[in-house]
Structure 1
Amino acid sequence: MTSRWLPHPLLTLFLTVVWVLLTNSLSVGSWLMGAFLGWGIPLLCQDFLLKTPRLRRPALLLRYMLVVLYDIVAANLNVARLVLGPPKNLRPAFVEVPMEIEDEFVLTLLACVVSLTPGTVSSGLSADHKTLLLHGLDVDDSEQMIAQVKNRYEAPLMEIFECSRT
């Protein structure tokens, strides 16, 4: 339950703990300052925070995180091989990926996940939120890249969260 004066209780708790860890002090003053910042920052920024959709399948979220972690490690090795190899092996390209997700939070999460995997960067989202522009360091086949993003990242997110489809 959230109230007008405590709109994001978990964020408040998280910011409080982060403040105490940053100050490296367990004093009452540190906890009070952390609680004040943890309360004030979400209150002042609540118009900018995205509403998080309900988590439908938490177990799938854990699996998704493991897949993303694996992809990050594999992409790091691939990018290292490409960068240390001859420049002629690089095939950079921009690819437009059509999006089925309409929820802003889930779209943001998808864009972040794609950018976390080395060799790809989300470069923009169309005004109607229907197309995600990606830049790939080594794109052999743009259709294959689109299919990979949609199957490996977008489809599981739509299962994990309760979000609308187009």
Structure 2
Amino acid sequence: MSRVFPAPLLSLALWALWLLLNLSLSAGNLLLGALLGFFAPILFAPLRPQPARIRRPGVALKLFFLVGRDVLVSNLVVAWGVLRARHNPPRSAFVKVPLDLHDAHGLAALSMICTVVPGTVWSELALDRSALLMHVFDLDDETRFIEHFKTTYERPLMEIFQ
């Protein structure tokens, strides 16, 4: 069964999405959606990463709420920084963060966290996954930012994925 349908939920979701986007239940759309749902997972199966194994779900839940809090706080900080930019411009900078996290799933989660939290942008990952280049909207102290980033985001992700 897994050879014919390597990802049955994905097949079903693609079929449903096709029908939803076309707003039609005609025979042609039913067939095209079924073909898309059947062939896409087979063709893209080599691109799918190995399944992730979450070792510490409690840490993952704690990290989820921590990121949620940081998103709210960072929204306010960035908004305040934009409002006061005329009188006190932000000190934006690129920061090179050394990484101890090398797991692909952990790095993907870290990139999503950097994208979601306002004021930070994931710019580049070193080829050997040893360092991350980030752009920070308003940077007071680079050393303090790196330490905060590593303890708040990287270490929990290492506990979860490595």
Relative distance call for 1:23 and 1:152 in structure 2 (3 A) is farther
Match of 1:41 in 2: 40
Name the % identity: 42
For 1:77 and 1:37, how far apart are their aligned partners in 2? 43
User: For the Cα contact (< 8 Å) 1:92–1:136, is it kept in 2?
Assistant: yes
Relative distance call for 1:14 and 1:147 in structure 2 (3 A) is farther
Match of 1:11 in 2: 10
Give the stretch that moved more between structures: 85-94 or 31-40: 31-40
Match of 2:70 in 1: 71
How many residues align? The count is 161
Match of 2:53 in 1: 54
Relative distance call for 1:105 and 1:29 in structure 2 (3 A) is farther
| Deviation, structure 1 residue 24 | 5.0
User: For the Cα contact (< 8 Å) 1:51–1:105, is it kept in 2?
Assistant: no
User: For the Cα contact (< 8 Å) 1:75–1:117, is it kept in 2?
Assistant: yes
Structure 1 or 2, whichever has the larger Rg, is 2
Q: For residues 63-109 of structure 1, give each alpha carbon's deviation from its aligned partner in whole angstroms, at most 9, with x where no partner exists.
A: 32222122112111111110111343301111111111222222122
Relative distance call for 1:106 and 1:84 in structure 2 (3 A) is same
Amino acid at match of 2:140: D
- For residue 39 of structure 2, give the secondary structure of its aligned residue in structure 1: helix
| Deviation, structure 1 residue 62 | 2.7
Match of 1:140 in 2: 140
Give the stretch that moved more between structures: 48-57 or 23-32: 23-32
State the TM-score, normalized to the length of structure 1: 0.80
For 1:158 and 1:10, how far apart are their aligned partners in 2? 29
Give the stretch that moved more between structures: 92-101 or 4-13: 4-13
Amino acid at match of 1:55: I
- For residue 46 of structure 1, give the secondary structure of its aligned residue in structure 2: helix
- For residue 94 of structure 1, give the secondary structure of its aligned residue in structure 2: strand
What are the equivalent positions in structure 2 for 1:126-137 lying under 5 Å apart? 126-137=126-137
| Deviation, structure 1 residue 41 | 2.1
Q: CA RMSD in A?
A: 2.5
- For residue 113 of structure 1, give the secondary structure of its aligned residue in structure 2: helix
Give the stretch that moved more between structures: 9-18 or 145-154: 9-18
Q: Please state if 1:115 is matched with 2:115.
A: yes
Relative distance call for 1:75 and 1:31 in structure 2 (3 A) is farther
